[in-house]
Homo-oligomer: A and B are copies of this chain.
């Protein structure tokens, strides 16, 4: 996964992009980069300048001098998620910036293509050279080889050929282009801000609206599935970006896992507040829950794995009380602020110290109580298992683990960084078992008194409905129902995901 950001017609495009990427930091912590475009007054073209590096946004841009060079009128930026193997190279840090027959181009991509291998093969046969292992590099090559003359039409031509999940922000000389795949898998929003003094309007594009809030930018609307949006000098005068549309897909496939875990709770994605959806998940989980208070306790204690499951826990409590199953929210776990990427752990033998370094438990609220612990998902299960072991030190009476989504059973080919099928916890325990037996095996492995996953029905009832759509979400990781078939072979996909 990744975060993308773009800005046009700002006087401080690099600074804006810095704050935007900072707000999108949760979408990618491995690397960050900014490319700025400036009119070249002397020669009449557009100059691109960039700064990129491995690490958090605040680490890559820790020197304020960097911004002195990055002046211009437009910029794009990218946060890269942790990736594995060969792609850990600095060559793969986005945005990619390049020069081709129509001038300068810079591109930032969130998503994952499903026919990148096939296209890469075809392109190399034609003599194309690749510098990075990322599938993103295919797109500018397709544009450069297109018969079109106009950059936005070249991009259109390129995007018709690619398959999979993509949200793109592109600088093409003087222009900013934003695009979203026809399935609408990843989120992408458009914002505006008018300078009260000059009356000039700046345009913003971001993976999530939290990047607008930090800049006091107003959320305008989503980039629609299949839309290619062009912002240029004319837009700043007319106030209207131009849009092209890719051929529509048979269905939509918004990533439901963005709502479950990935997006920031204060963002609006797919036109709805993430926080509200998470609250729904908690409510539905309460409706499905069968845990009741024992004689001695008059309340269930509901705790969440902070911070991503906090809202679901609050929704759970509220609904549970409505259903006359008294429950009380408690901060039983506190997340440590000082764990950063640079945190070393000397004396590694003691593996459990990792989870101890990340979470602090509040013994008083857990001791001798019936705990319902809310988490959003279980991927590999190792952290959950260690966390339960830690909570046991507070001597709770019982721990009931409730997950606000169904079991993850299938890998994601559209950008979510799940492990291969073989590494998913569900896969370890489902050899020839029924679903119930499988959950029982996982419960036993994690070490809790009971384990409850939200049902698929419950999940679908929690997320917004879109009119005139028969199918609005991708639930492949829970169901195996993949909206887009993959043209590429299996192995490479797993390695090159980002």
The interface of chain A, by Cβ under 8 A from chain B, is: 12, 14-15, 18-19, 22, 25-26, 50, 56-59, 61-64, 67, 89, 91, 96-101, 105, 124-125, 127-131, 133, 140-141, 144-146, 210, 213-214, 264-266, 273, 275-276, 307, 310-311, 314, 318, 328-331, 334-335, 337-340, 342-344, 346-347, 353, 356-357, 360-365, 393
Q: How far is the CB of A241 from chain B (nearest CB, A)?
A: 25
**Residue among A67, A100, A146 with the highest chain B CB neighbour number at 10 A:** A100
Flag if B18 contacts A346 (CB, 8 Å).
yes
5 shortest interchain CB distances as A-B pairs = A127-B145, A101-B124, A15-B347, A266-B360, A127-B144
Q: Are B210 and A360 in contact (CB under 8 A)?
A: yes
Docked complex Cα distance between A62 and B353 (Å): 17
Tell me how far the C-beta of A67 lies from the nearest C-beta in chain B, rounded to whole angstroms.
Answer: 5
Contact A131 B98 (CB under 8 A): yes
Q: Which residues of B contact A337 (CB under 8 A)?
A: 25-26, 307, 335, 337
Bound: A265/B336 CA distance, A: 11
Which residue on B lies nearest to A328, using beta carbons?
B318
CB <8 Å contact, A334 and B25: no
A364 touches B101 (CB 8 A): no
Q: Give the residue of B58, B213, B307 whose beta carbon is less than 8 angstroms from that of A343.
A: B58
Cα A104 to Cα B466 with chains together (Å): 47
Q: Do B19 and A342 have beta carbons less than 8 Å apart?
A: no
A-B contact pairs, 30 of them (CB 8 A): A22-B338, A50-B89, A57-B338, A63-B344, A67-B346, A98-B129, A98-B130, A99-B124, A99-B129, A100-B124, A100-B128, A101-B125, A101-B127, A127-B145, A128-B129, A131-B131, A213-B360, A213-B361, A213-B393, A214-B357, A264-B360, A265-B331, A276-B364, A310-B331, A311-B331, A311-B362, A314-B329, A314-B331, A318-B328, A337-B337
Residue with the greatest number of chain B CB neighbours at <10 A, chosen from A141, A275, A357? A275
Chain B proximity of A20: nearest CB distance (Å) = 12
Q: Which residues of B contact A14 (CB under 8 A)?
A: 346
- Closest Cβ of chain B to A343, distance in Å, is 5
Q: What B residues does A344 contact at CB under 8 A?
A: 58, 61-64
Return A356 CB to nearest CB of chain B, in Å.
Answer: 5
Known: A58-B338, A99-B129, A318-B328. 9 other contacts (CB 8 A): A25-B337, A61-B344, A100-B127, A100-B128, A213-B361, A266-B360, A311-B362, A314-B330, A314-B331
Query: CA of A25 to CA of B357 in the docked complex: distance in angstroms?
Result: 12
Identify the closest chain B residue to A127 (Cβ).
B145
**A266 CA to B210 CA in the complex, in Å?**
31
Given the known interface contacts A273-B363, A275-B362, A346-B64, the answer about A340 and B15 at a Cβ–Cβ threshold of 8 Å is no
Complex CA gap A403/B265 in Å reads 26
Complex CA gap A64/B342 in Å reads 11
Residues of B near A89 (CB, < 8 A) are 50
B361 touches A266 (CB 8 A): yes
CB distance from A495 to the nearest CB of B (A): 12
A334-B307 contact, Cβ under 8 Å, with A98-B130, A130-B100, A328-B318: yes
What residue of chain B has the Cβ atom nearest to residue A273's Cβ?
B364
**Chain B residues closer than 8 Å to A61, beta-carbon distance:** 344, 346
Say how far A150's CB is from chain B's closest CB, in angstroms. Answer: 15
User: Which residues of chain B come closer than 8 Å to A360, judged between CB atoms?
Assistant: 210, 213, 264-266
Q: Which of A61, A127, A339, A347 has the most CB of B within 10 A?
A: A127
Give A68 Cβ to nearest chain B Cβ, in Å. Answer: 9
Could you tell me the distance between the alpha carbons of A67 and B131 in the complex, rounded to whole angstroms? 22
Which of A91, A99, A361 has the most B CB atoms < 10 Å from its CB? A99
Taking CB atoms, residues of chain B closer than 8 Å to A62 are 342, 344
When C-beta atoms are compared, the residue in chain B nearest to A390 turns out to be: B213
B-side contacts of A338, CB under 8 Å: 22, 25, 56-58
Separation of A67 and B487 alpha carbons in the complex (Å): 38
| A343: chain B residues within 8 A (beta carbon) | 58
CA distance A91 to B48 in the complex (A): 13
CA distance A64 to B343 in the complex (A): 10
Residue of B nearest to A16 (CB): B347
In the complex, the answer to whether A353 meets B19 with C-beta atoms within 8 Å is yes
Chain B residues with Cβ below 8 Å from A12 are 346-347
**Complex Cα spacing A63 to B275, Å:** 39
**Shortest CB–CB separation between residue A73 and chain B, in angstroms?**
15
Shortest A301–chain B CB gap in Å is 11
